[in-house]
Structure 1
Amino acid sequence: MKIFLDTANLSAIKMYNDMGLVDGITTNPSLMAKEGGDPKKVMEEIVRIVKGDVSLEVLSVDTDGMLEEGRRLRKYGNNVVVKCPLTPEGLKACKILTSENIPVNVTLCFSVNQAILAAKAGAKYVSPFIGRLDDNGQDGMNLIREMREVFDNYNFGTQILVASVRHPMHVVESAKIGADVVTLPPDVLGKMLKHPLTDVGLKNFLADWEKLKKENPNTKI
């Protein structure tokens, strides 16, 4: 399963990319606004840092506008994936952009029916928002299970990109189900790295080593 970072924060992207943990990036207008600065420069830098797919989102709601923006976004780099909303206009744009060899991530998916249509339109990725479903009293992970079953039934090439991830267990469940990608905020990835027993174990190892050094001053690794 690939891990994408859902952020436009360059510091977080650089840090986790240097660890070898980042397979790609997803962004959206809200994330760009949160970071401030010149969005063009931010997008250029993200595409430069990350070698995997970088999803950049259109702002238009009509097909012609999405096509214009999508073609322009693609010029940032060959690893750019254009994000289009799961609307009739967005699916039309997806079909056309895909025919031009511009990959598309169809976003704001909330049902299996929508996911099927995104796959039929040729999307490289479809992004179901599980956290928002949970917030509305639905089971977001069940959507991923149903999508996996349907996509496997018909060998759809579209990848399931789990979005709106709120905590590490969303990642675990997505991996168990067989999602292709999860995209998560930096703080969730940070939580995945940590466990209290790791900290305790390291502390004990270092304490034991210091004790050994006192008994044997010339000891080295």
Structure 2
Amino acid sequence: MKFFVDTANLNEIREAHDLGVLDGVTTNPSLMAKEGIKGYDAVMAHYKAICEIVDGDISAEVIATDYEGMISEGENLAQLHPNIVVKVPMTKDGVKAIRYFSQKGIKTNCTLVFSAGQALLAAKAGATYVSPFVGRLDDVATDGLQLIEQIVGIYANYGYQTQVLAASVRHVMHLVQCAEIGADVVTCPLNVITGLLNHPLTDIGLAKFLADHKKVNA
């Protein structure tokens, strides 16, 4: 499984990279705004800065909702760096844009996916990644993990190369369960990834080792 960090914060990206397990980054306009990144030139420069840190796919989201606008924005984004993946919403025009980008050899991430049918359309259009939102489905009393499992199964049935990128992953158990059911990628905040480090028995064991060492070497 690949680990992507879902942020536009350069310090968090560096920390995740230095941990040695980071495979990529996902971003969106909300995350950019959270970091105070405003204006076209500033956003483009920020994407370039992320690409300088991470040797992996970087999802950069289009703002346009119409086909022509998505194509224009997506081509500009793709020109920034070979690792840029154009993030496109699951809409009719979005699916058309994914097909266009696929034919041009531009990587895509179909976002805001909430059903297996949507994921099937994205794969048939040639999406590189499809992003089902686990946590947001849980918020409306729907099993987000079940959707991940369903999409993984459908893609396996027909040999689709589209990677299942589990998004809106909010805690460690979400991440582990996504791994169990075969998601190709998980994207989440840094604290979810570092949360995998934690277990009380590890802390207790380490404390005992250090205490025993201190006794022997007193």
Into which bin does the TM-score normalised by the smaller protein fall? over 0.9
Q: What is the aligned partner in structure 2 of residue 119 from structure 1? A: 123
Residue identity matched to 2:151: M
TM-score by length of 1: 0.94
**Aligned counterparts of 1:209 and 1:75: Cα–Cα separation in 2:** 56
In the other structure, the counterpart of 1:201 is 205
How many positions carry a matched residue from both structures?
214
Residue in 1 aligned with 2:154? 150
Counterpart position of 1:68: 72
**1:5-27, Cα deviation, whole Å (9 max, x unpaired):** 11111111101101111111110
Provide the TM-score with structure 2 as the length reference.
Answer: 0.95
Q: 1:170: which partner in 2?
A: 174
State how far apart, in whole Å, the 1-side matches of 2:21 and 2:142 are. 30
Q: Which moved more, 1:118-127 or 1:205-214?
A: 205-214
Aligned to 1:22: 22
Segments of 5+ residues of structure 1 without an aligned counterpart are 215-221
Amino acid corresponding to residue 158 of structure 2 in structure 1: Y
Higher Rg: 1
Tell whether 2:109 aligns with 1:105: yes
SS at 1:71's partner residue?
helix
Residues 127-168 of structure 1: CA deviation (Å, up to 9, x unaligned)? 000100000010001101111111110000100000000111
Equivalent position amino acid for 2:209 in 1: F
Residue 44 of structure 2: aligned partner: 40
Aligned match of 2:216: 212
> 1:7 and 2:7 equivalent?
yes
Query: 3-state DSSP class of the match of 2:34?
Result: helix
Please, which runs of 5 or more residues in structure 2 have no aligned partner? none
Report deviation, 1:190.
2.2
In structure 1, the residue matched to 2:98 is 94
1:182 equivalent in alignment to 2:186: yes
Identity level (%): 52
Give the alignment's Cα RMSD to 1 decimal: 1.0
